[in-house]
């Protein structure tokens, strides 16, 4: 960690402009967290800490059940402490992952600012602190850093199970990206055996089975009023209304509610296009990494993974209407894929491409300022 910190500080000193942009990004994150503490009392996010397995198996009740082991009453500050700690831990591991994948030499600080400072990533994780989407990002990063040994499949499977228990939508949010990282690290970067295939199959069956159970049998086995009263009794801070749809809605019901939001969401599509376009340098860099990977199979795997992950998010958008959250998490998954693709590129023995081409340096600076200035994306509506 000391070596990572030293290299990072040296990179900032060498490129003061981008060090300045990074400092602005960090300042925005601090302001967002300050606002979260003092100006954004979210009863909806607070309620997600209150559901437990008190009445039996239920979706989205894992975090509350863990908290119930330590305290009978849950405070709103628990959300802030837990979310803040998760953000700090994920940010630290993000830096370690970036150092391992790309390093901080040459133009890599610019790449770091575009990823770490993207409004898709930590800025939006702070804004949506209580939804705990960051668990998926954190686990994917840990998966990138873990050594691949006999314990690797067991640890990854256990992590996927926990992600699903936290929120069953992780099956589409982060598990496709985690599956891509699994394929890269187990099948592309080493020789694999029949045992690896059997382990992968067994893990896939367990994870898919749990996801199916949560989606179709995860409704609490008591009336919504009973569950609501129990959650209110566990709240130590003011809570006037709990949206029980998070635990009692059906897929058909959620799709109906989402369809009602489409006219308003379609009006904001130009903002979505502009937000994605602001990350053009990342997309161009990813394309160069894929094109520079000499193994044709690896190129096909990378392109297929990007397509499958994107289709998973299209499905989410049909079912649930938190479109700004989904867009942000899709962006996070693309950045995680960028790291996995860089592993494939390095394994091919090709020379790493530059992030900033000399002819594009001015444009990279402009896009860097734009990405830095964007504070966050949102939950339902973009901005």
Residue 117 lies in a domain: yes
Q: Are 251 and 172 in contact (CB under 8 A)?
A: no
Rounded-to-integer distance, Cα 102 and Cα 338, Å:
10
Rounded-to-integer distance, Cα 239 and Cα 299, Å:
51
Residue 11 lies in a domain: yes
| Containing structural domain, residue 194 | 2-373
- For residue 226, the 8-state DSSP code is H
Residue 104 lies in a domain: yes
Q: Are 125 and 39 in contact (CB under 8 A)?
A: no
pLDDT digits (tens, 9 = 90+) for 174-214: 999 999 999 999 999 999 899 999 999 999 999 999 999 99
Residue 212 lies in a domain: yes
Q: Can you read off the two tokens belonging to residue 270?
A: 């130009």
Q: Stretch 51-55: mean pLDDT, rounded?
A: 94
Is the pLDDT reported for residue 111 higher than 70? yes
Is the pLDDT reported for residue 358 higher than 80? no
Is the pLDDT reported for residue 105 higher than 90? no
Average pLDDT, the chain: 93
**Which residues are CB-contacts of 271 (< 8 A; sequence separation ≥ 6)?**
382, 383
The per-residue pLDDT for 261 is: 87
The per-residue pLDDT for 86 is: 96
- Exposed/middle/buried for residue 269 (C-beta within 10 Å: 0-12, 13-18, 19+): exposed
Structural domain total, the chain: 1
Q: Please indicate, yes or no, whether the overall pTM of this predicted structure exceeds 0.85.
A: yes
Task: Select, from the ranges 99-108, 244-253, 264-273, 280-289, the one with the highest average predicted confidence (pLDDT).
Answer: 280-289
Residue 180 lies in a domain: yes
CA angle 231, 236, 241 (to 5 degrees): 50
The per-residue pLDDT for 278 is: 95
Q: Stretch 220-240: mean pLDDT, rounded?
A: 93
Name the more confident of 311 and 352. Answer: 311
> Residue 279: helix, strand or coil by DSSP?
coil
Residue 50 lies in a domain: yes
Is the pLDDT reported for residue 313 higher than 90? yes
Nearest C-alpha neighbor of 87 from the set 332, 373, 339, 334: 332
The per-residue pLDDT for 1 is: 64
Rounded-to-integer distance, Cα 338 and Cα 302, Å:
9
Q: Stretch 353-374: mean pLDDT, rounded?
A: 88
Q: Are 110 and 15 in contact (CB under 8 A)?
A: yes
CA-to-CA separations, 118 to 9, 187, 289, 320, 376, in angstroms, rounded: 20, 30, 20, 24, 8
pLDDT digits (tens, 9 = 90+) for 69-79: 999 999 999 99
Rounded-to-integer distance, Cα 258 and Cα 160, Å:
27
When pLDDT is cut at 50, 70 and 90, the band that residue 271 belongs to is: very high
The per-residue pLDDT for 73 is: 95
**Which residues are CB-contacts of 377 (< 8 A; sequence separation ≥ 6)?**
119, 120, 123, 124, 127, 275, 324, 325, 327, 328, 383
Report CA 326 to chain centroid distance, whole Å.
9
Residue 378 lies in a domain: no
Rounded-to-integer distance, Cα 26 and Cα 122, Å:
9
Residue 379 lies in a domain: no
């Amino acid at each position: 960690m000391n070596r990572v910190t030293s290299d990072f500080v040296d990179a900032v000193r060498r490129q003061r402009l981008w060090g300045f942009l990074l400092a602005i990004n960090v300042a925005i994150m601090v302001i967002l967290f300050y606002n979260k503490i003092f100006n954004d009392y979210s009863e909806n996010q607070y309620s997600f800490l209150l559901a437990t397995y008190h009445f039996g198996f239920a979706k989205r009740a894992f975090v509350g059940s863990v908290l119930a082991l330590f305290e009978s009453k849950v405070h709103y500050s628990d959300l802030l402490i837990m979310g803040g700690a998760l953000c700090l831990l994920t940010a630290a591991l993000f830096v370690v992952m970036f150092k391992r994948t790309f390093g901080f030499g040459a133009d890599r600080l610019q790449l770091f600012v575009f990823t770490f400072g993207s409004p898709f990533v930590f800025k939006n994780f702070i804004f949506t602190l209580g939804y705990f989407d960051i668990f998926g990002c954190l686990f994917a990063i840990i998966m990138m850093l873990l050594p691949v040994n006999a314990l690797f499949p067991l640890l990854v499977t256990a992590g996927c199970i926990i992600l699903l228990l936290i929120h069953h939508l992780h099956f589409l949010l982060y598990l496709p990206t985690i599956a891509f990282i699994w394929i890269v690290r187990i099948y592309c970067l080493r020789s694999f055996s029949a045992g690896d295939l059997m382990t992968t199959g067994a893990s896939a069956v367990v994870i898919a089975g749990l996801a199916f159970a949560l989606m179709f049998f995860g409704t609490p086995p008591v009336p919504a009023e009973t569950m609501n009263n129990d959650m209110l009794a566990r709240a130590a801070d003011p809570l006037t209304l709990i949206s029980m749809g998070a635990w009692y809605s059906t897929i058909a019901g959620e799709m109906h509610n989402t369809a009602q939001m489409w006219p308003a969401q379609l009006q904001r599509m130009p903002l979505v296009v502009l937000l994605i376009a602001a990350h053009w340098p990342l997309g161009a860099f990813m394309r160069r990494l894929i094109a520079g990977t000499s193994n044709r199979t690896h190129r096909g795997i990378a392109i297929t993974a990007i397509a499958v992950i994107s289709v998973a998010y299209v499905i989410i958008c049909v079912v649930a209407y938190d479109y700004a959250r989904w867009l942000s998490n899709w962006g996070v998954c693309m950045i995680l894929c960028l790291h996995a693709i860089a592993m494939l590129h390095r394994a091919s023995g090709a020379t790493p491409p530059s992030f900033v081409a000399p002819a594009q340096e001015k444009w990279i600076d402009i896009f860097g300022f734009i990405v830095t200035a964007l504070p966050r994306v949102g939950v339902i509506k973009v901005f």
